[in-house]
Amino acid sequence: MLFVREFNVHIECIELTPVFASVARTRVRLAGLDHRIHISEGNVVNKMVGHPSFDVIVSIDSAIHFDSRRTFFKQAYDALKKNGRLVLSDQIIRNNHSREEIIKFLRANDSEVPYSNLILFDEYLRDLHDIGFRIDLLLDVSNRSYSLLD
């Protein structure tokens, strides 16, 4: 809603969880912005197939949950118009942790994060580069966030 008010844009939201989509639709309708914001339910990885149609794709702490994150990156790249941008915040394994430590933690906590997404920072950057993305800005906020294993 902030983007619509501040930048006069149209927003297409894709939410996997039906109850979250319902709450979001209600909030958008009550704000009188349902003509500018469309919220659909489904898996974003499946819904972005097609011709380039987005100027910007924003993913906030969700890409780690997609099966797979690399597939999401590929489809996002294909769905973006020329000079489009992927803006995301994501969770990446620090180089001082092993995949085995993380998998053990996730299993103990019944996490549904696909293990294929448990890649190190360098692998993450290589995936983005190999797909065709150019990284304009990269901020490490790990010193302002939590660590599962520390």
pLDDT, averaged across the chain: 85
Helix 121-131 to helix 69-79 angle (10° resolution) is 30
Which residue matches tokens 């894709």?
14
Q: Identify the pLDDT of residue 105.
A: 75
97 compared with 68, residue with greater pLDDT: 68
For 101, how many CA atoms within 13 A lie in the half-sphere containing its CB? 11
Token pair listed for 87: 């803006």
Q: Which DSSP string do the residues of 20-65 spell out, in sequence order?
A: HHHHHHHHHHHTT-TTTEEEEES-HHHHT-SS--EEEEEEES-GGG
pLDDT (tens digit per residue) in 22-57: 999 999 999 999 999 999 998 777 777 776 788 999
Q: Identify the pLDDT of residue 148.
A: 58
Quickly state the pLDDT bin for 63 (edges 50, 70, 90). Answer: confident
38 compared with 64, residue with greater pLDDT: 38
Token pair listed for 16: 């996997």
Q: Identify the pLDDT of residue 32.
A: 96
23 compared with 143, residue with greater pLDDT: 23
Quickly state the pLDDT bin for 107 (edges 50, 70, 90). Answer: confident
Exposed, middle or buried: residue 34 (CB in 10 Å: 0-12, 13-18, 19+)?
middle
**DSSP structural state of residue 93:** B
93 compared with 3, residue with greater pLDDT: 3
Quickly state the pLDDT bin for 19 (edges 50, 70, 90). Answer: very high
